[in-house]
Chains A and B, each alone.
Chain A
Amino acid sequence: MLNGDMRAFELLVKQYERLVFYVIHRLVKEQQAAEDICQEVFIKVYNSLTRFSFQSKLSTWVARIAYLTAINYVRKYKREKASDYPDDIENFHFTVDTPDQLLTKKETANYVEQLILQLPEKYRTVLTLYHLNEFSGPEIEEITGMPEGTVKSYLFRARKLLKEKLEAYLKDEML
């Protein structure tokens, strides 16, 4: 690939396109923008391959590039500010309070997805990296630069919050 083998590069893109898309789609909600960022990420990967020092897994390195590119985009075109979220996540209020208007019971996953998209970006990121990309705590630390303890804390609090919301949603559905 370092010699310009485009077939090898295409295989690399195929191997990591889902990983990159998963990382980006939770941070950048617009599909078109998410695809553009995916393209940007792979161009960065191609241009930086000579600098990859094999000190980490290639997937972690690619995910870090994806995360930083998405974060840069979010910061650049930010419509939501950090102050939009309370410091204490336990006091966070979702705007989807009438889930039945949005989704039916069989779409629990979609409902959870809607909730996740309303969470602050750090919570969205750790949930995605842990559950969708199946990275471990230390790997998430390497990708995001957040200490492992913080990652675990974000994971716990986000899941607890989502569980409470899901519980209420299921209760409403039963009625």
Chain B
Amino acid sequence: MKEMSDEELQQWLENNKQQLPVGETLSKDAEVYNMLFEALGEEPANGLSYDFAAKIARSVGAREKHSNELKYNLAVTLIFIAALGFMYSLLAFFMPDQASLLLKYKWILLLLPPAFIVIQYFDQRLVKARMFNSRSYKP
């Protein structure tokens, strides 16, 4: 049998070990390459934990929920500010006296949206974030 070069042997093994002609046996090199190819295709002994997928999905789900809540809170705050502005303009247009009375409480009204944001922020950061973290993936 004609000795195959390294390149030919690798090619032969890559092409799913095409049948050898009858009567021919594997050369020493071919045997070693064969063992090598088998070893290269061997799966690693270590792997990911069996519930890796579930933990990742839970972790991503928690992040998603967290981000959605943040967007929701921002939207609520913006709507609240817009509604407040709209109501004040109506009041100023139809009842200018009452509107000036309302100005006495302007600081309370102006502080309401930031207070709402601050409460939501600390709720997210301190309370819920701790809950999410305890549930997120720790391999």
Which positions in A face B, CB cutoff 8 Å? 4, 6-7, 9-11, 13-14, 17-18, 21-22, 25, 31-32, 35-36, 38-39, 42-43, 46, 108-113, 116, 127, 131-132, 155-156, 159-160, 162-163, 166-167, 170
* A132 CB contact (under 8 Å) in B28, B41, B49, B52: B41
Is the CB of B7 closer than 8 A to any CB of chain A?
yes
Whether B44 lies near A166 (C-beta < 8 A) is no
- Known A21-B47, A108-B35; judge A39-B40 contact (CB<8 A): no
Task: Please tell me if B39 contacts chain A, counting CB pairs below 8 Å.
Answer: yes
- The minimal Cβ–Cβ distance linking B53 to chain A, given in whole angstroms, is 4
Which of these binds chain A: B54-62, B80-88, B124-132? Answer: B54-62
How distant is A159 from chain B, measured CB to nearest CB, in Å?
A: 6
Q: In the assembled complex, which residues on chain B have CB atoms less than 8 Å from the CB atom of A112?
A: 36, 39-40, 42
The residue in chain B whose Cβ has the minimal distance to the Cβ of A21 is B48
> How far in angstroms is the closest Cβ of chain A from B104?
46
A-B pairs under 8 A by CB, number: 103
Chain B interface residue number, banded: 35 or more
Whether the pair B40, A132 counts as a contact (CB closer than 8 A) is yes
- Dominant SS among interface residues on chain A: helix
In the A-B complex, the 9 residue pairs with the smallest Cβ-Cβ separation, listed nearest first, are: A10-B57, A13-B53, A112-B39, A131-B40, A35-B139, A109-B42, A109-B39, A14-B53, A6-B61
The interface residues of chain B lying within 8 Å CB-to-CB of A38 are 48, 52
Choice from A43, A109, A110 contacting B38 with Cβ under 8 Å: A109
Question: Assuming A36-B139, A39-B139, A166-B36, is B43 touching A10 (CB within 8 A)?
Answer: no
| B36 A162 Cβ-Cβ under 8 A | yes
Among A4, A13, A32, find the residue whose CB has the most chain B CB atoms closer than 10 A: A13
Query: Nearest chain A CB to B11's CB is how many angstroms away?
Result: 9
Taken residue by residue from 21 to 48, chain B's Cβ proximity to chain A (1 for < 8 Å, 0 otherwise) reads as 0000000110011011111111111111
| Contact A163 to B36, CB < 8 A, known contacts A31-B46, A39-B139, A113-B44 | yes
Taking CB atoms, residues of chain A closer than 8 Å to B32 are: 163, 166-167, 170
Residues in chain A near residue B46, CB distance under 8 A: 25, 31
Instruction: Let me know if B6 is at the binding interface, CB within 8 A.
Output: yes
- C-alpha spacing A18/B46, complex, angstroms: 11
Cα(A61)–Cα(B58), bound, Å: 23
CB-nearest residue of chain B to A10: B57
Complex CA gap A11/B32 in Å reads 39
Q: Any chain A CB within 8 A of the CB of B137?
A: yes
